[in-house]
Amino acid sequence: MADDARARIQKLLVTGDNRLKQGVAHEKVRETYEQALAVARDAGLEDTVAPLVEVRLADLQRLAGGSPPPAPPAA
């Protein structure tokens, strides 16, 4: 099951990256990254995937011309 989750997470991250490169609406790109994080959470892989998603979301926010979102509280 973890391998399936990893494959789905990777696919979602690549899809989000490709959407960003293709000029898809930033909200749609954000949704794709957040889906990857949700899959990671469900599979117990959040600690590994969250930093990757956070970097992408920060870059997305920067490209949108806003300030980066606040850092999540420490667990």
- Which tens digits make up the pLDDT trace of 16-60? 999 999 999 999 999 999 999 999 999 999 999 999 999 999 999
User: Which of 32, 33, 28, 69 lies closest to 50 in space, CA to CA?
Assistant: 33
What is the model's pTM? 0.81
Cβ distance 12 to 33 under 8 Å?
yes
Q: Alpha-carbon distance 29 to 22, whole Å?
A: 10
Q: What is the pLDDT of residue 43?
A: 95
Six-digit token string for 39: 């899959």
Hey, is 32 helix, strand or coil?
A: helix
pLDDT at 71 over 70: no
Q: What is the pLDDT of residue 20?
A: 93
